[in-house]
Chain A
Amino acid sequence: MTEARHAGMSSAPTPLPHSESGSPAAEMDPVEYTLRKRLPRKLPKRRNDVYVNMKTDFRAQLARCQKLLDGGGHREICVHGLGLAINRAINIALQLQAGSQGALQLAANTSTVELVDDLEPEDPDESGEPMTRTRNNSAIHIKVFYPEP
């Protein structure tokens, strides 16, 4: 994968960061607004894209990647992680590499993903406008590949 991807999560629910203390949330009274997070923007994914989340078992995700590399006939796969899942994406990539006796190589890219939150007023009749805000979150895209001989 050559081009840097701008955004990325797809498939199962992607973990969203659970606290952004420095964000505008601090100014808002939590009683007056309900925060509703929208899903991160999805992009079409190829067969060898793996989006890592925090809900699925780690071993299962690792096995899935292993399978793509071994039996799936792919020379390279791309592991994506957003926010909290960055850690896990790195873990998976390193495990894959360790398990391959040095045959696999890694190439990591980072990016920033824009996320959208809806803020709905509790008492809609008086305060009117619900708000929408965007915030940014980090993402990592690790290419795991067999180097060309």
Chain B
Amino acid sequence: MSASKVKMRDRKMKNQPASVQYSSPSAAAGSSSQNGRQEAKDSGWQRNPPPRTGWVRGYQRDGGGGYMTEMPKYITAGAFARSRAAEVKAMLKAVTKRTGSNHVFQALPKHMRRRAMSHNTKRLPRRLRDVASKMREKSLQAGSKKKKELAKSKSRKARRRHGNLLLEFNRRQRKNIWLETHIWHAKRFHMVKKWGYCLGDRPTCKCYRPCYRAMSSHCLLLDISYYCCIELRGEEDTLLTALSQLTSKETGPTFAAALCLSGCRQGSVTVYRAGQYPSHPLGPVTFLWRPRAEGSASRQLWIWAHPALKQDLLPELQRVCECFEAVVPPVIPVATPAESASTLESEPKPEVSPKAKVTPGGKRKRSRVDAGGPPAKKILGDGTRSPDTPVTWKSSSSGIVINDLTMEMVRYRLVGPQSHSVLTETLEAATDCDEAGQSQASSLWWPQHCRDERKMNLHQQQAEVFNTLKGIYSSGEVPPGTVLGLTVDDPRLTLPAKKVKAMPSVNQSQEADEEKRRQLMLQGVPQLCSQSCLWEQSVRDNVTENKISEQELNRMRSELLVPGSRLSPTPLQGRIPILLVHQPGKQVGNDMSSWGAGWDLLLPKGWGMAFWVPLVYRGVRIAGLHMSLKRSQNQGAPHFPHDYPDCPAGIRFQEEQEAELLDKFKRRPPAKRTNYIKHGCLAPFRCPWQQLVEEWELLTRQRGDGQARSTTKPKEEEMTPQPDHAGTKPQSGFTVVRSRKSLRLLSAWCKLPTSRGQRPGRGGGAPPLQQSAADAFLASHRMSVAWVRLSLLSKGKPELHAMVCAPTPEDLKLLGKRDAGTCPQEPPHRDDFKSKTRRRKKSSKTGAGPLQSSDYPGTEASEPSVDAEPDLVLGVWPDPLPSITSHCSRVTLGWVTEGDFSLSAGCGEALGFVSVAGLLNTLLSQPEEHRGKVLLRNPSSLHYRFAQINIEV
């Protein structure tokens, strides 16, 4: 009998009294006293192992004779009657009890059933109605109980009510920080949770090319408020000595660069762990000094860092500044009386603590007007930390104060040659307040500001410079990094009724203007004008506190006599201090210089949306993280976590990326996956830099043997696979070359001697590429990789983690033929792991039974396996990788970290790293006319493509 039949029988018999069962004849005959036993134990028949467990009815012929053989000789009347009575009782019980589903109408014969009987009890015969209605009530009750649990969510209307919506938003902000433009973005973007923030990745509409066009000819807007600002205050000298430990002059200007120190330029540096240059880099930061105030030696410095970098940077800053005394937030003196206790709570905190529940820090009234309104307040700033996490640290010895200003300011980035037109059209320098306003005592900052003659003079100058901006044609014309401080009117007041495209208004202006414009282009903004009130915490808080709500503004508008005209006089609350920071465009290389130049707009928190919408109404395109990556790619600048594989944040990023890519790969059915082993691709999801540099170091040592042919690597190398253990200190032994001098040398060596861009005068500085010069260079950069830019010479689109390989002399001959169709090919590799994976899969299926049967081979890793390999994924090389350099027919030099078809260059372009030793080796063996030619091969392809290497300084 089949298993399912047995199961079905068991189910049917579950509720049946045992005594009603037919016992098998042999069992019945087993003992004469069976009757008595049955009454004692209902399950008596089961005691005898039934010879046949079948579902058998009626008389059985076999079984040795059936009834006839042994009949009881006598019957005890009492016992017999008792057991019969029990049987009858059980039978009656079984008859009344329904098995299976309990619908009343099932008691009816089929011909009496009617449609929708369970819905309408009237369709039932009257005798059954009572039962049916009772049942119905019961089921309704059960249903309503279930519903009650669900009913916690109120009606949509109730949920969308302002106060409730705000509560819900605040709840959702506890885990990840929301930018002020979050709601705007969430309606239009694919959102991702990254680095503790909710960020827009890319718009839901198709706009890759429009965004590119915006960057190269108009303006693209990015919200980069997630960048963290760390404020340092102290004596200039102490600050500089402390910070000098973090940087090196070899990589370019440091914190002490004269122009940046004066405050009129923004600077950027790569930060290292204190005194550890050139190893242990942390990442790139930009910094801004506050212009000196006369008569005070104390300086203020803002360091802007990517959030992935902050957790490494902040402790390092504390160490070099010796700032270990955390200042408990309430101790911070609050300058403005307008601030209430809520301000204290709103101080920023570094660590994300999910504990902030009932009163999340950073809650703040939007405007004092609705202070009496609903208790829920909009979260401004960081909603994820608890109010008592310290955000300020000071040092008793050096007097430096570190202040974490994360989310205290809004930062928008405008990219593109027209970004200054957008800005000049959106913003208007603040109008002075009249006499009446000045004389009134008020808690607003602007009237107080207006009383100071000097400050107003400064404001006039700044406004003048700002107006001069209108006269230039492209944002790239301004000196890179210029900083302009300004106070502007509330941009909501000048919102156009319709979206318009801001265009430059260049006209043949008067001589005076022309002269000013020239001045601006040559010298930049005068040092004085870089000052801004945005540096003052008290002013920032005051402005945030006193923002007019949208509602209030609309009410004021509706009271205007002429609908649609401008509010006048401008309400006093609407004066906002801002900082405009110029972002240089492409600065390296000969082509497309200053592509992607633009401006950064810094605002006090709370004003994000008030500026965002007016900017959007000036015809800019909005983009997210994806486009900012493309921007840096087109610009030839390294993008932070991606192109910093030797920084802790870069290592973390690589691990995340690997997990993500592997996961995606495993989600495909095995038959549809790319078999990377057959393509000769050892690491399609990550780049084992460490192993690469180690192998190349060994190769250069063995170069005495002649050809760079790799031998089998000693075991020790395979013992050190690259993934540095997260959490621990980065053990990465390799570094990225960042010293300017070295890069310049490499760059000169990579260039074709006849290259058009090369100036005869400058190329002469570098020693010619020779064995001796290369050896000397290698001595100091043995374990280094260099960041290079590769442009394809023929067709092809490089992809993530494409391999950079050295061409053989035969390949270069191919190149000479100028036949576009012929590219070298990699012979397909054999996948020796395939059979192993299959066998494993099979054995696990039969051996472990149904448990594993649903698993893909990739997930088998969890099962304790006899095989040595812990992780076998079909198509991916298992973990201890063999020699990387010699795995394919062409020697591997490095990998691509970012590749795409470049719309600005019109060919495939890739950014990646190559081993310095490998690069020099290749260059030395190449003839002059093919200097710097390498091969590029995508992980899922066997075709090599020629590319030219460029190192740009």
A residues apposed to B, CB below 8 Å = 13, 18-19, 30-31, 36-39, 41-44, 55, 116, 118, 122-125, 128-130, 132, 134
Q: Are A30 and B765 in contact (CB under 8 A)?
A: yes
Docked CA distance A132–B258 (Å)? 15
Q: Indicate whether B587 reaches chain A with its CB closer than 8 angstroms.
A: yes
Q: Are A125 and B522 in contact (CB under 8 A)?
A: no
Docked CA distance A36–B587 (Å)? 8
A128: chain B residues within 8 A (beta carbon):
258-259
A37: chain B residues within 8 A (beta carbon):
593
Q: Are A125 and B593 in contact (CB under 8 A)?
A: no
Interface string of B564-601 (1 = CB under 8 A from A): 00000000000000000000000100111110000000
Interface string of B756-775 (1 = CB under 8 A from A): 00011110010000000000
Docked CA distance A122–B740 (Å)? 9
Which residue in A38, A44, A132 is a CB contact (below 8 Å) of B476? Answer: A38
Residues 699-733 (chain B) with a chain A CB within 8 angstroms: none
Nearest-neighbour CB distance to chain B for A39, whole angstroms, equals 5
The 7 closest A-B pairs by CB, nearest first: A128-B258, A124-B257, A124-B253, A42-B473, A132-B522, A125-B256, A42-B474
Q: A38-B477, A124-B259, A125-B254 are in contact. Are A30 and B506 (CB under 8 A)?
A: no
B residues apposed to A, CB below 8 Å = 249, 252-254, 256-259, 417, 473-474, 476-477, 479-480, 504, 506, 521-523, 587, 590-594, 740, 759-762, 765
Q: Are A44 and B506 in contact (CB under 8 A)?
A: yes
Q: Are B259 and A129 in contact (CB under 8 A)?
A: yes
B474: chain A residues within 8 A (beta carbon):
39, 41-42
Q: Are A30 and B594 in contact (CB under 8 A)?
A: no
Docked CA distance A36–B952 (Å)? 13
Docked CA distance A134–B521 (Å)? 10
Q: Label chain B's interface by main secondary structure.
A: loop
Q: Are B759 and A125 in contact (CB under 8 A)?
A: no
Which residue in A19, A36, A43, A124 is a CB contact (below 8 Å) of B473? Answer: A43
Q: Are A116 and B765 in contact (CB under 8 A)?
A: no
Which residue in A39, A122, A123, A129 is a CB contact (below 8 Å) of B477? Answer: A39
A39: chain B residues within 8 A (beta carbon):
474, 476-477, 593-594
A134: chain B residues within 8 A (beta carbon):
522
B587: chain A residues within 8 A (beta carbon):
36
Q: A38-B477, A44-B504 are in contact. Are A18 and B594 (CB under 8 A)?
A: no
Nearest-neighbour CB distance to chain A for B929, whole angstroms, equals 21
**Known contacts A13-B592, A41-B474, then 16 further A-B pairs from the complex at CB < 8 Å, ordered by chain A residue:** A18-B759, A30-B762, A38-B593, A38-B594, A39-B474, A39-B594, A43-B506, A116-B477, A116-B522, A124-B257, A124-B259, A125-B254, A129-B258, A132-B522, A132-B523, A134-B522
B259: chain A residues within 8 A (beta carbon):
124, 128-130
Nearest-neighbour CB distance to chain B for A43, whole angstroms, equals 6
In chain A, what residue has the closest Cβ to B761? A30
B254: chain A residues within 8 A (beta carbon):
124-125
A18: chain B residues within 8 A (beta carbon):
759
B257: chain A residues within 8 A (beta carbon):
124-125
Docked CA distance A122–B249 (Å)? 9
Docked CA distance A37–B473 (Å)? 17
In chain A, what residue has the closest Cβ to B240? A125
Nearest-neighbour CB distance to chain A for B845, whole angstroms, equals 61
Offer 15 A-B interface pairs, CB within 8 angstroms, sorted by A. A13-B592, A13-B593, A18-B759, A36-B593, A38-B594, A42-B417, A43-B506, A44-B506, A55-B591, A124-B253, A125-B254, A125-B256, A129-B258, A129-B259, A132-B523
In chain A, what residue has the closest Cβ to B258? A128
Docked CA distance A40–B257 (Å)? 27
B523: chain A residues within 8 A (beta carbon):
132
Q: Are A41 and B765 in contact (CB under 8 A)?
A: no
A55: chain B residues within 8 A (beta carbon):
591
Docked CA distance A124–B247 (Å)? 13
Nearest-neighbour CB distance to chain B for A38, whole angstroms, equals 7
In chain A, what residue has the closest Cβ to B265? A130
In chain B, what residue has the closest Cβ to A118? B479
A19: chain B residues within 8 A (beta carbon):
759-761
A130: chain B residues within 8 A (beta carbon):
259
Nearest-neighbour CB distance to chain B for A12, whole angstroms, equals 8
Nearest-neighbour CB distance to chain B for A126, whole angstroms, equals 9
In chain A, what residue has the closest Cβ to B473? A42
Docked CA distance A108–B587 (Å)? 34
Docked CA distance A128–B521 (Å)? 19
In chain B, what residue has the closest Cβ to A132? B522
Nearest-neighbour CB distance to chain B for A34, whole angstroms, equals 8
Nearest-neighbour CB distance to chain A for B497, whole angstroms, equals 26
Nearest-neighbour CB distance to chain A for B477, whole angstroms, equals 6
Q: Are B594 and A44 in contact (CB under 8 A)?
A: no
Docked CA distance A129–B256 (Å)? 12
Nearest-neighbour CB distance to chain B for A46, whole angstroms, equals 13
B765: chain A residues within 8 A (beta carbon):
30-31
A44: chain B residues within 8 A (beta carbon):
473, 504, 506
In chain B, what residue has the closest Cβ to A134? B522
B473: chain A residues within 8 A (beta carbon):
41-44
In chain A, what residue has the closest Cβ to B504? A44
In chain B, what residue has the closest Cβ to A30? B762
Docked CA distance A129–B260 (Å)? 10
Docked CA distance A41–B587 (Å)? 17
Nearest-neighbour CB distance to chain B for A88, whole angstroms, equals 14
B506: chain A residues within 8 A (beta carbon):
43-44
Docked CA distance A118–B297 (Å)? 31
Q: Are B521 and A116 in contact (CB under 8 A)?
A: yes
Nearest-neighbour CB distance to chain A for B425, whole angstroms, equals 16
Docked CA distance A37–B523 (Å)? 15
Docked CA distance A39–B472 (Å)? 13
Nearest-neighbour CB distance to chain B for A112, whole angstroms, equals 15
In chain A, what residue has the closest Cβ to B590? A13
A122: chain B residues within 8 A (beta carbon):
740
In chain B, what residue has the closest Cβ to A6? B508
B504: chain A residues within 8 A (beta carbon):
44
Nearest-neighbour CB distance to chain B for A103, whole angstroms, equals 33
Q: A13-B592, A36-B587, A38-B593 are in contact. Are A125 and B761 (CB under 8 A)?
A: no
In chain B, what residue has the closest Cβ to A12? B592
Nearest-neighbour CB distance to chain A for B565, whole angstroms, equals 31
In chain A, what residue has the closest Cβ to B592? A13
Docked CA distance A116–B504 (Å)? 21
In chain A, what residue has the closest Cβ to B244? A125
Docked CA distance A43–B761 (Å)? 32
Nearest-neighbour CB distance to chain B for A69, whole angstroms, equals 25
B591: chain A residues within 8 A (beta carbon):
13, 55
B590: chain A residues within 8 A (beta carbon):
13
Docked CA distance A124–B268 (Å)? 13
Nearest-neighbour CB distance to chain A for B532, whole angstroms, equals 23
In chain B, what residue has the closest Cβ to A127? B258
Nearest-neighbour CB distance to chain B for A47, whole angstroms, equals 14
Nearest-neighbour CB distance to chain B for A85, whole angstroms, equals 13
Nearest-neighbour CB distance to chain B for A120, whole angstroms, equals 8
Nearest-neighbour CB distance to chain B for A96, whole angstroms, equals 25
Q: Are B593 and A124 in contact (CB under 8 A)?
A: no
B480: chain A residues within 8 A (beta carbon):
118
Nearest-neighbour CB distance to chain A for B519, whole angstroms, equals 11
Docked CA distance A31–B259 (Å)? 20
In chain A, what residue has the closest Cβ to B472? A41
Nearest-neighbour CB distance to chain A for B152, whole angstroms, equals 60
In chain A, what residue has the closest Cβ to B758? A18
Docked CA distance A13–B595 (Å)? 10
Docked CA distance A125–B244 (Å)? 11
Nearest-neighbour CB distance to chain A for B240, whole angstroms, equals 10
Docked CA distance A13–B592 (Å)? 5
Docked CA distance A20–B592 (Å)? 21
Nearest-neighbour CB distance to chain B for A93, whole angstroms, equals 24
B761: chain A residues within 8 A (beta carbon):
19, 30
Docked CA distance A43–B507 (Å)? 9
